[in-house]
Chain A
Amino acid sequence: MTNYLEVRSLSKRFGDFTALGNISLDIAEGEFVCFLGPSGCGKTTLLRAIAGLDPQTSGTIRQKGRDVSALPPAQRDFGIVFQSYALFPNLTVADNVGYGLVSRRQDRGAIARRVSELLTLVGLPDAGPKYPAQLSGGQQQRVALARALATSPGLLLLDEPLSALDARVRLRLRHEIKALQRSLGVTTIMVTHDQEEALTMADRIVVMNHGAIEQVGTPQEIYRRPATAFVADFVGSMNFLAGTLEAADRVRIGGLSFACPAQEGLAVGSAVRLSVRPEDVRVRDLPADVANRVAVEVADLDFVGAFCRATLSVQGAAGVSLTADFSSNLMRDLGVDTGTRLDVALPPDRLRVYAA
């Protein structure tokens, strides 16, 4: 894999405020990368620095081996789609898509062919003569995508492209954009604050917080093995139980002791947080010798539709509670209700330990 984009020690400061602190990142050719993080984490700032729209304070950016750090946007090679679409309202859809082609002095026929090809690509073959205001939000976003792709850029930048759309359209467009990106093989960076969007679309996710990268990894890695408590908390839901590391592979919480993967970076005796995802709490068919068995009482049940999110108060550790996802089947089969007492297990390989 060759690196298409190399970001090195990139920083961006506004006065005393550090928007980006010493970011380094490699992106391979053809990869779909998501910048994920809460608002204000610096993900859009990083995207705009890569585009040259808001230049970095220090650091370098190389694109396809070329140092573009000091180049203005017009001299870099990218197409961009904004949350607001930024379609030119006074131009027809065809003129919008062809906007970047006209200035390249191609002949009219060639431009028209390319425009109709692109509109077909994004599934709007007949929208050409319409004005943007006559299209729905989802259609406008597709036109914006077609316009960004028209000049066949080497890098496609998507700045929260789906967040202005309603849920149903958003779901459909996720798949379409992903499929389109795969078929064109264009290196793509998408900024989003929606973890589900990042998990379903990205080849790799860059989780950011406070202007720094928390973790870079595939969606599975990010979800299964969050590197920091922030990532664990931000992506998906997570239980955090305060305790003490009593051995390299054991955590004590109240009167209970839990087996966990061996920890290297944490000192025995230090305060830690033990984490487990609600869906990883095992309930059914517990073998007699199952590790980390805990007796709990169902304190509360929230009906979420496909499943119930249960709040379990842990017996033997006062004040400790745990949330777990119970499927409808499980609820029916075990007759779970508020007040029910049962045993659950926390599979050691699904536990993560973070410094408190």
Chain B
Amino acid sequence: MSLALSTPGVRMSRDDLLMRGGLVVLAGLLLLIVGLPLWALLAKGFEDRDGKFIGLANYLAYFSTPALFNSALNSFHVALASTLIVVPLAFLYAYALTRTCLPARWLFQGISLIPIFAPSLLPGLALIYLFGTQGFFKALLGGGSIYGFDGIVIAQVFYCFPHATLILVTALATADARLYEAADVLGASKLRVFFTVTLPGAKYGLISAALVVFTLVITDFGIAKVIGGNFNVLATDVYKQVIGQQNFSMGAVVGMVLLAPAALAFVVDRLVQRKQVALLTARAVPLIPRPKLGRDLFFTLFCTLVSCGIVAILGMAIWGSLIKYWPYNLSLTWANYHFETFDANGWESYFNSLRMAAGAAIFGTALMFTGAWLNEKTRGFGAIRGAVQLLAFLPMAVPGIVLGLGYIFFFNAPGNPLNFLYATMAILVINTVAHFYTVGHLTATTALKQIDPEFEAVSASLKVPIWKTFARVTAPICLPAILDIAIYLFVNAMTTVSSVIFLYAPDTKLASVAAVNIEEAGTTAAAAALCVVIVMTSATVKALHILADRFLLGRLQAWRRR
């Protein structure tokens, strides 16, 4: 009887042991690739150049050095200005896509996504061509300079636009037509309907978009690097401290300062999104926009204008990359694509990028999906599952450049047995997987939550091992989500600069890093050419993904048809 009174705990099956084992391995792995590098970074901030503990001295030095502290203010101003411009633009654009009868909607939607496929330095380069010291329209600036605050903000608007638009399209697409019908019946004016129905409905989307843009801007490295001039921001300060002055401790301090707003924005966003879930549970009747000439004309015009801006920036980068000698000799040439004349690695850096992106897509997707599955389906084991959840969410809050710095401190530490990974292709793949872990984990978790929670119970009752059901049922059902994760990782691995800039070795240099180096050396055209190659590659992969989704998956997944 005494036995029955205590919690007996059901004996574990082989499945339970397997999954718990897997989860422990996953937790260990995440600790290794996320937790410990960040810990190393945190610790470094309290050490002097020789590795002696000096408490808060570095932080005191930081906040009492105006040159350093100013960068924090600069970062904040740039992020604020960019957010205030991007969010309204993206809101109108998303409104046009979801609530009006926009002609060629797919085209406008496609164009709005273009910046996602580009490394962030691309808009910077395009602006240099247009408004730089030798820019076409330099005269328009009336003696002002594109290098600095204005240039950064314009480039950031381009770079962040698709992220905000995607969020707002989702927020506006989930409208309940019945609310609008009710407002109509009650005789509310259009303006009143907008402020009482439309805006509140998109409120959480707006907050989320603002936070995402703010974080993207404050953590971005490429744009400030290319077009910042003497206007210092946090991300470039980290780079200067580490690469320029070899002051790792101060780099760590700047990194921590950079981490704070990003982490704060992340926490607020999570809180907001938790509320939004509750909002969506009601059964809604989808809203289908009806034609209305004046409104449709206005939004078509607006979208055309914005799209032209996006295409112009991309087009400028492409054109610039094909020009012999800007702005004196505008004849076309492929010379800028002979990368070996500008960088020792030549085209090899591009192939490195492809290898790295493929590696991140394959290993990252496998890890993220299996990991999310383990975390969702393991019975009990709450503490470890909580730890995995936390470690999986952490990377979202960590700027790439901060994570990259943590990697130096952790993997390059003399005593670390994983030291052999340093300066290999493997560490670039690992770092990229870690950097983009959260979105993949979330995508996989969402997909897993949508399938019947009783599959595992059924297979247990039929005495089928759980991994067999994973392979035969769960993974095949989630194939679209798995592909989404892989493509997301591939595109981001192609375009990322910030986290890998500290980690490459001469023979593993990536295209995006090479572009930064080439630009640093003053060859804008070749840097633009490299960016164009990256855009083309990731856009092609995305296009193939869409085609595969439509045709191949349709055939492979005949079971989805009724």
Seen from chain A, the residues whose Cβ lies within 8 Å of a Cβ on chain B are 9, 51-53, 55-60, 69-76, 78-80, 82, 84-86, 88-91, 99-100, 102-104, 131-134, 147-148, 150-151, 153, 157
Contacts and interface: CB of A to CB of B under 8 A. Distances in A.
Contact of A79 (B10, B461, B468): B461
B4 interface: yes
B550 interface: no
Given A58-B8, A133-B561, A147 B462 contact: yes
B461 A86 contact: no
B468 A103 contact: yes
A210 B423 CA distance: 63
Contact of A89 (B454, B463, B477): B477
Contacts of A86: 452, 454-455, 457-458
A249 to B, nearest CB: 42
A147 B10 CA distance: 26
B170 interface: no
Interface residues of B, number: 36
A74 B460 contact: yes
Nearest to B380: A55
Contacts of B460: 52-53, 72-74
A206 B299 CA distance: 64
A59 B4 contact: yes
A71 B461 CA distance: 12
Given A53-B457, A89-B559, A133-B560, A151 B10 contact: no
Interface string B440-467: 0000000000001011011111111100
A333 B9 CA distance: 66
B461 A78 contact: yes
B54 to A, nearest CB: 47
A75 B461 CA distance: 8
A323 to B, nearest CB: 35
A148 B461 contact: yes
A83 B312 CA distance: 56
Given A59-B4, A60-B4, A86-B452, A80 B10 contact: no
A74 B463 contact: yes
B561 A91 contact: no
Nearest to B454: A86
Interface of B: 4-16, 452, 454-455, 457-465, 468, 472-473, 476-477, 557-562
A71 B15 CA distance: 12
B454 A58 contact: no
Nearest to A98: B462
Prevailing SS type, chain A contact patch = loop
Closest 10 CB pairs of A and B: A100-B462, A72-B13, A73-B460, A86-B454, A55-B10, A131-B559, A88-B473, A74-B460, A70-B11, A86-B452
A104 B461 contact: no
B464 A58 contact: no
Contact of A103 (B7, B464, B559): B464
B473 A91 contact: yes
Given A55-B9, A80-B457, A74 B15 contact: yes
Contacts of A80: 457-458, 461
Contacts of B472: 88, 91
Given A73-B461, A82-B454, A151-B462, A57 B11 contact: no
B4 to A, nearest CB: 5
A103 B463 contact: yes
18 contacts: A53-B457, A55-B8, A58-B4, A58-B5, A59-B4, A60-B4, A70-B8, A70-B11, A72-B12, A73-B460, A74-B460, A74-B461, A78-B461, A80-B457, A103-B464, A103-B468, A131-B558, A132-B559
B279 to A, nearest CB: 25
Q: Which of A85, A86, A131 has the most CB of B within 10 A?
A: A86
A193 to B, nearest CB: 18
B476 A90 contact: yes
Contacts of A78: 461
A53 B460 CA distance: 9
Contacts of A102: 464
B461 A72 contact: no
Given A86-B458, A89-B477, A72 B560 contact: no
Given A89-B559, A90-B557, A151-B462, A73 B457 contact: yes
B322 to A, nearest CB: 48
B10 A52 contact: yes
Nearest to A48: B457
A153 B458 CA distance: 13
B137 to A, nearest CB: 56
Contacts of B455: 86, 88
Nearest to B477: A90
Contacts of B4: 9, 58-60
